[in-house]
Amino acid sequence: MELVKLKIDNRTVEVEKGTTIYHAAQKLNIEIPTLCYMNLKDLNIEHKPGGCRICVVEVEGRRNLAPSCATECMEGMEVKTHSLRVLNARRTVLELIISDHPFDCLVCAKSGHCDLQDMAVKLGVRDLPFQGEKSTYKPDFSPAIIRDVDKCIMCRRCETMCNDFQTVGVLSGIHRGFEAVVAPAFERDLDHSECTYCGQCVAVCPTAALTEVDHTKNVIAALSDPRKTVVVQTAPAVRAALGEEFGMEPGTLVTGKMVSALRQLGFDFVFDTDFAADLTIMEEGTEMLDRISRHLNGDKDVKLPILTSCCPGWVNFFEYYYPDMLDIPSTARSPQQMFGAIAKTYFAEKQKIDRKDMVVVSIMPCVAKKYECTREEFAEDNNPDVDFSISTRELAKFIKQANIDFDSLPDEDFDKPMGESTGAAVIFGTTGGVIEAATRTAYELHTGKALPKVDFDALRGFEGIRSASVDFNGTEIKIGIAHGLGNARKLLDDVKAGKADFHAIEIMACPGGCIGGGGQPLHHGDSSVLKARAKAIYEEDKGKTLRKSHENPDIIKLYEEYLGKPGSEKAHKLLHTHYFDKKAKQVLLD
């Protein structure tokens, strides 16, 4: 390995050849500011368009300033990261960016979490020397994501996520010069595009150009309505990230505090989506076993592989891009929707509440869930199974608004009966978790034997596409895993081309699975945050006494009292769904 030695701010540093000035400076704990650079190392995404020009530095002997994110270190280089020339240029460039940005910080959805705002503070912007025309665009309100394009600073991170990582390709740079901006084709609303609402664009947006639809107000309204029974469910990935919004280290588990906060907020029942995740395993696992055994018994009609269907971004994706393969995914609804369906039937009956008087709120790490709960098939007489879905970030804001000191909250437990869950449900929150949970159950149901080791290490990790085989009593079950829709596309194309023969595939739309969801606290491009969250999830699983979904006593009870057995007619009506060819639907819309 070739090394080069250089001086940054008069301090010597030695780095591998090819290292950028930006990274060399980091070695010296010099954090050069930037607005567009993004490095998700573990996901192989390095976005360095060199567009914002905030990270410029002075390099001795160079005519102009160098963008540190893209300039490689050279032997003997002398770099200044805070000379007068650099500071003046950096602040002027920022003033320029701000001059084409609305000045509505006080009422902005991103206020306090905005990279641009932070940068203005950091660089000491104190006046607005450039007044002039501002570019204005039509705002776009979709069921899940709001695009306020006036706030776009052309960092192009969303474009990278949407195109390179997700291969959805809904967002592209359009127009040029002062009018240049990122938008869907023909500047139509996302609603009229192939957007999967994965929310990865929202997750990386430095400003409020892309934000999630805020349902907190609706939730507050429901909570203050005495006629309503408000039930809340919290997804597994939320507890591993919520703490970050209150200054805790990434990977801090806050399950107990979260439950207690939700109670203080006034929810009548604080339940766990994990309960529904166990239920999902029962249904999906049964379907998987059924399809696999039929296949092994020589049934030619059975379609394999079976694909997981709990990720709404992923469901949208295959509805748009693989309409010819709609019969492959499991018909099992996602845990959010299973929860809603059971809450407004089984639980409502138990409580003797009319479903119209019950409001089901979900706390999700996800943006697509907001869309999912509005799907027509998940409603009964126009009354949705899940009324509102709010993100981890929205919950954090809500807690702060309610003057709750999160840190000092006691740990509390979920309510019964829909608060009980196993370790298998918890790991739904990270890539590989759903299929591991399904395998745990399927193995025991299939073989009739107890698992010798509950942890399937082969299914874990951060590789975009992974595969493993599990020995089911002499039968080799081949499993594929992908996270990120780009990886999903690769895997699916291989399946389509007959190049891959998996029995089952788990797909999550977001990097790392739900822990990296579009509704999670912003990781600002730091993938170590995602890793810490995953670790926390596996820890929670390990700490649970029950770690297989079919061992969940309340699930067993639910089947005994209400559903019969997995795959029953009632289970089908409440817990399964069907898919649509959205490409065809979209053409009709146009």
Partner 1 sequence: MAKYKMHMLVCGGTGCRASASDMLYENLKKEVQDNNLEDDVQVVTTGCFGFCEKGPIVKVIPDNTFYVSVEPDDAKDIVAEHAIKGRSVKRLLYTDPAKKEQIPDSKHMGFYKKQIRIALRNCGLIDPENIEEYLAADGYEALGKVLAEMKPEEAIQEVIDSGLRGRGGGGFPTGIKWQIASKVDGAQKYVVCNADEGDPGAFMDRSILEGDPHSVLESMAINGYCIGATKGLIYIRAEYPLAIKRLKIAIKQAREFGLLGKDILGSGFDFDVEIRYGAGAFVCGEETALIHSMEGDRGEPTFKPPFPAQSGYLGMPTNVNNVESYANIPVIFNKGAKWFASIGTEKSKGTKVFALAGKINNVGLIEVPMGITLREVIYEIGGGIKDGKKFKAVQTGGPSGGCLTEKHLDTPIDFDNLIAAGSMMGSGGMIVMDEDDCMVSVAKFYLDFTVEESCGKCSPCRVGNKRLYEQLELITQGKAKKEDLDKLRNLSNVIRDTSLCGLGQTSPNPVLSTMDNFHEEYLAHVTDKQCPSGVCKDLIRYEVIAENCVGCTACARNCPVNCISGERKQVHEIDQALCIKCGACLEKCKFNAIAVI
Partner 2 sequence: MTSIKLKLKDSEVQKLKEICKSFNNEHGELINVLHGAQEYFGYLPAEVQEVVAEEMNIPVAKVYGVVTFYSFFTMLPRGRFPISICTGTACYVRGADKVLDEFKRILKVPVGETTSDGKFSITCLRCVGACGLAPVVMVGDKTYGRVTTDGVKDILKEYENED
Q: Which spans of this chain sit near partner 2 (rule: CB under 8 A)?
A: 163, 168-176, 183-187, 193
DSSP code string of 295-335: HHTT-SS---SEE----HHHHHHHHHH-GGGTTSB--BPPH
DSSP state of 164: I
Choose among partner 2, partner 1, none what residue 528 binds, the Cβ cut-off being 5 to 8 Å by kind: none
Residue carrying the six token digits 């390990």: 542
Handedness of CA 123, 128, 133, 136 (dihedral sign): positive
Are 517 and 543 contacting, i.e. CB atoms less than 8 angstroms apart? no
Q: In 3-state terms, what secondary structure has residue 255?
A: helix
Residue carrying the six token digits 């819309």: 589
Q: How many CB atoms sit inside 10 A of residue 92's CB?
A: 15
Q: How far is the CB of 198 from partner 2 (least distance, A)?
A: 15
Q: Which is nearer to partner 1, 71 or 362 (CB)?
A: 71
Q: How far is the CB of 183 from partner 2 (least distance, A)?
A: 8
Choose among partner 1, partner 2, none what residue 343 binds, the Cβ cut-off being 5 to 8 Å by kind: none
Catalytic, 514? Answer yes
Q: How far is the CB of 494 from partner 1 (least distance, A)?
A: 24
Q: In 3-state terms, what secondary structure has residue 297?
A: coil
Q: Which is nearer to partner 1, 79 or 89 (CB)?
A: 89
Choose among partner 2, partner 1, none what residue 145 binds, the Cβ cut-off being 5 to 8 Å by kind: none
Among 80, 344, 369, 531, which one carries the catalytic annotation?
369
DSSP state of 458: G
Choose among partner 2, partner 1, none what residue 184 binds, the Cβ cut-off being 5 to 8 Å by kind: partner 2
Catalytic, 287? Answer yes
Q: Which is nearer to partner 2, 435 or 509 (CB)?
A: 509
Among 159, 194, 283, 284, which one carries the catalytic annotation?
284
Q: Which is nearer to partner 2, 72 or 189 (CB)?
A: 189
The residues of the shown chain that bind partner 1, judged by CB under 8 A, are 48-54, 56, 64-65, 67, 70-72, 85, 88-89, 92-93, 96-97, 99-100, 129-130, 132-133, 153-154, 173, 175-180
Catalytic, 585? Answer no
Q: How far is the CB of 189 from partner 2 (least distance, A)?
A: 12
Catalytic, 46? Answer no
Q: How far is the CB of 140 from partner 2 (least distance, A)?
A: 13
Q: Which is nearer to partner 2, 183 or 277 (CB)?
A: 183
Provide the token pair at 398: 């809500």
Q: Which is nearer to partner 1, 70 or 458 (CB)?
A: 70
* Secondary structure of 167-204 as H, E, C letters: CCCCCEEECCHHHCEEECHHHCCHHHCCCCCCCHHHHH
Among 249, 377, 560, 561, which one carries the catalytic annotation?
377
In sequence order, the 6+-apart residues with CB closer than 8 A to the CB of 211 are: 109, 110, 145, 146, 148, 202, 205
Among 73, 310, 311, 510, which one carries the catalytic annotation?
310
Residue type, 199: G
Peptide bond before residue 305 is cis, with ω within 30 degrees of 0:
yes
Handedness of CA 176, 180, 181, 187 (dihedral sign): negative
Catalytic, 52? Answer no
Q: How far is the CB of 36 from partner 1 (least distance, A)?
A: 9
- How many helices (H) and strands (E) the chain has is answered by 20, 22
Residues in the chain, how many? 590
CA distance 237 to 235: 6
Catalytic, 58? Answer no
Pairing type for strands 229-234 and 465-472 reads unpaired
Q: Which is nearer to partner 1, 132 or 474 (CB)?
A: 132
Among 73, 514, 540, 548, which one carries the catalytic annotation?
514
Q: Which is nearer to partner 2, 166 or 308 (CB)?
A: 166
Name 46's bridge partners.
Answer: 39
Provide the token pair at 321: 């891009």
DSSP state of 451: -
Q: How far is the CB of 174 from partner 2 (least distance, A)?
A: 5
In sequence order, the 6+-apart residues with CB closer than 8 A to the CB of 547 are: 422, 423, 424, 440, 454, 541
Q: How far is the CB of 325 from partner 2 (least distance, A)?
A: 17
DSSP state of 213: P
Choose among partner 2, partner 1, none what residue 88 binds, the Cβ cut-off being 5 to 8 Å by kind: partner 1
Q: How many CB atoms sit inside 10 A of residue 528's CB?
A: 12
CA atoms within 13 A on the CB side of 423: 18
Catalytic, 330? Answer yes
Q: How far is the CB of 29 from partner 1 (least distance, A)?
A: 25
Among 58, 194, 245, 287, which one carries the catalytic annotation?
287
Among 194, 372, 394, 540, which one carries the catalytic annotation?
372
Residue 302 φ then ψ, to 5°: -70, 135
Q: Which is nearer to partner 1, 100 or 436 (CB)?
A: 100
Q: How far is the CB of 187 from partner 2 (least distance, A)?
A: 6
First to last CA, the chain: 56
CA distance 102 to 392: 26
Provide the token pair at 171: 């967002």
Closest by Cα among 350, 331, 480 to 418 = 350
Choose among partner 1, partner 2, none what residue 300 binds, the Cβ cut-off being 5 to 8 Å by kind: none
Catalytic, 155? Answer no
Q: Which is nearer to partner 2, 184 or 199 (CB)?
A: 184
- Residues recognised as catalytic: 284, 287, 310, 330, 369, 372, 377, 514
